[in-house]
Chains A and B, each alone.
Chain A
């Protein structure tokens, strides 16, 4: 095992494996096309909790417990926990940590936090110690609505570019690769890109340049092309963001074509479930990876995947003050299990 820096933010790593994944989602997400890939679907948004913040915490806690259990571990064997969420002071991640009592690195990069944590966790494992880390990310639709937008019961019209924050959590246990593990073989930590978008109801177009920058950096550093991946999944660019990313790529001769897809586009039936641009939130990329994408790799249908979670790094205060929205994207490349580990 080792990690090597091969570009400004790109690291290659070997023999880092995913021991287990778990995904739990809310009822609306459970009605989407990926429902069979999730470990559990909640029957209600609040799950009998007295506040939506508590529900978000419970969602993360249950998902992480399940991932640890599926890895065949107990919590004391987890050396380090990495993760984040959308709420102020990343309370969900921090509050869950008082229960599991493991060393914690709470991270924030909005909806990009899952790949930030997964990439960082992979790097740490690649350099021998710690040997087992748990990574988790969560979001809750109602908790995000009340922090970023309006009270849930307030009537207002969403614009066609608005995203639907997913009630979902995904968790992964990472350790030294064994035969049968999906492997993490590289990561590119993105830089902040701000091309002047200001509309908080259109985060897809704000984030697309950041996703493009990170993907480009990753391909340049690794010397790979788009065809080296069976699929490139962005986090929550949605319909418009993916269109824009395609256009940015075409302009520079990077033709994504149908290899490019998006977790936010995949989580719901966009028309029938009336979610406009698609899903968003840290739990979106986390649950879609832990449930669906990991399965595609594990089953051998895909050889390699580039997962590029995207985050809009604004707060209600900054957009009310007229600031544009800085964005970031972190890419993690993953491969299907190898019959023999080199």
Chain B
């Protein structure tokens, strides 16, 4: 009996919480994400063109561009700027490769205090780990489907 009362009070309460909880500023977040993500992409494009000035093809320039962006993401994380960027830009900052760099460097900095093996070594992938696991899994499945349909490995 007491339990029933509690559970109905709890249900009513959760309804109340839903009503009172402030909503996320979705439109503002979307605009910021577009601007931040777009800006990072523009920078990336600029870097790629820069490499192409030195005679690389667009495809050849992709790898060094990625390396430079990862370097910048790591640098900005180290300087304590990247988290400020993502705070505003959300997925616009997380999704580009610079966000991946942030996800690797932040734990590396954080867990330095527990040493190189049990700290940095063990915790380096705590954030990026799930992305890698499911990213690689998805790539494998998609690759398999592509192979089954087109016969191209």
Q: Find chain A residues with CB under 8 A from B23 CB.
A: 160
Q: Are B22 and A240 in contact (CB under 8 A)?
A: yes
Task: Assess the A153–B16 pair: CB atoms within 8 A.
Answer: no
A197 at the A/B interface (Cβ < 8 Å)? Answer: yes
Binary per-residue interface labels of chain A (128-164) against chain B in the complex, 1 for a CB within 8 Å, 0 otherwise: 0000000000000000001000111111111111000
Question: Is B69 in the interface zone, CB < 8 Å from A?
Answer: no
**Nearest CB in chain B: distance from A191 CB, A:** 12
Taken together as a complex, chains A and B put the C-alpha atoms of A277 and B105 apart, in Å, by: 29
What residues of B have a CB within 8 angstroms of the CB of A202 in the complex? 17, 21
Cβ of B9 and Cβ of A157 under 8 Å apart?
A: no
Which chain A residues border B61 with CB–CB below 8 Å?
A: none
- Indicate if the CB atoms of B113 and A51 lie closer than 8 Å: yes
B contacts with A: majority SS: helix
Where chain A touches its partner, the secondary structure class is loop
Total interface residues in chain B, CB < 8 Å: 39
Bound-complex Cα distance A115 to B116 (A): 40
**B99 at the binding interface (Cβ < 8 Å):** yes
Check if B14 sits within 8 Å of A197, measured CB to CB. Answer: yes
Q: How many residues of A contact B (CB 8 A)?
A: 29
User: What is the 8 Å Cβ interface bit string for chain A, positions 175-203, against chain B (1 contact, 0 not)?
Assistant: 00000000000000000001111000010
- Give Cα A194–Cα B83 distance, bound, in whole angstroms: 33
A209 on the B face (CB < 8 A): yes
B90 pairs with A157, CB closer than 8 A: yes
Q: CB-CB < 8 A to B78: which residues of A?
A: 153
Is residue A50 contacting chain B, with contact meaning CB distance below 8 A? yes
Assess whether A157 is in contact with B21, with CB atoms less than 8 Å apart: no
Q: Interface on A for B, CB 8 Å cutoff?
A: 50-53, 146, 150-161, 194-197, 202, 205, 209, 240, 243-244, 247-248
6 contacts between A and B (CB under 8 A): A153-B82, A157-B86, A157-B87, A158-B87, A205-B17, A205-B21
Q: Given A153-B105, A205-B21, 13 other A-B contacts at CB below 8 A?
A: A52-B113, A53-B113, A151-B110, A153-B80, A154-B83, A154-B103, A155-B94, A156-B86, A157-B87, A159-B24, A205-B17, A247-B20, A248-B13
